Structure 1
Amino acid sequence: MSAERGASGHQAEGERPVGIDELLERVRSGLDRIGPQEAYGVFRDGGLLVDIRYAALRERDGLIPGALVVERNELEWRLDPQGSHRASEAVSHDLRIVVICNEGYASSLAAASLRQLGLRHATDLVGGFQAWKAAGLPVQAA
């Protein structure tokens, strides 16, 4: 929960609202964001790539072979190693996780949320799927 909000989640009296650009800047300052080649290395070394793009984008642009596809609204439930709805890949809080959205914006917020669950090695891909594809890394038809 943001320091800007009280226990109820509401903005504290007299504090200014935070815009999305400022929120992204704050969130990203706590992440070690990585590029496509490094993300591929994480995957090759046993880390988990998590594609949170919505279905229409996956159908249009393709998939990263081996990436776990999880809709954004299910992400925390599927990756919490202690959760009853976890994906079989969500084995440990020590797992290296790279969250991938289309262009690298929503993934920053998603990775920060995973870190709040104790997934301390969660991060995201700078430029998202589009950067992965532009780097010539593996993509397959949906």
Structure 2
Amino acid sequence: MPLKKTAAQLVEQARQRIEEIETAALMEMVDDPNVVIVDIRDVRERQRTGYIPGSFHAPRGMIEFWVDPESPYHKEIFAQPDKKYVFHCASGWRSAITVATLQDMGFEAAHLKEGFGSWEKSGGPVERTEKKD
């Protein structure tokens, strides 16, 4: 059965209507207490490649529920009206779709345009955790 839209089309449509943050700009914001960086990658990606220091891990599959104050899964970190939320994934595709969805819900956020891969290649700080056997 042919798709009505491809994943690439969804990403492109999302990018046309959301705020995209360049890697260099987010590097300047990393220590800003008014910015919450949200990593939506799978936990195994974070373990394998590291993560942006101070970022909050929120797996992609739970975002809508963690952001929604009426959800039993709501996380208080998403209830700070004066914060700027910047979501990221590995390459900017999942985070673009995520931010578009959150925008549809009424939650304002931006995303790291080229993802964690660009962050790492640009020399952004990366924290690593020890692997657990």
TM superposition score category, shorter chain reference: 0.7 to 0.9
CA contact (8 A) 2:35 2:85 kept: yes
Unaligned ranges ≥5, structure 2: none
Partner of 1:23: 10
Higher relative contact order (CA 8 A, sep 6+): 2
Is 1:130 equivalent to 2:112 in the alignment?
no
**C-alpha root-mean-square deviation of aligned residues, in Å?**
1.9
Partner of 1:78: 66
Partner of 1:106: 94
- After TM superposition, the score normalised by the length of structure 1 is 0.78
Letter in 1 for 2:14: V
Is 1:89 equivalent to 2:96 in the alignment?
no
Q: Return closer, same or farther for 1:77/1:138 CA change in 2, 3 Å cut-off.
A: same
Letter in 1 for 2:9: E
Could you tell me how far apart the structure 1 residues matched to 2:17 and 2:82 are? Answer: 17
Unaligned ranges ≥5, structure 1: 1-15
Identity of aligned residues (%): 27
Partner of 1:39: 26
Could you tell me how far apart the structure 2 residues matched to 1:92 and 1:39 are? Answer: 19
Alpha-carbon distance, 1:82 to partner:
4.7
Bigger drift between 72-81 and 100-109 goes to 72-81
CA contact (8 A) 2:64 2:102 kept: yes
Moved over 3 A (4+): 40-43, 81-84, 92-95
Letter in 2 for 1:104: G
Determine which of 74, 99, 104 is the counterpart of 1:116.
104
Aligned length: 126
- After TM superposition, the score normalised by the length of structure 2 is 0.83
Alpha-carbon distance, 1:81 to partner:
4.3
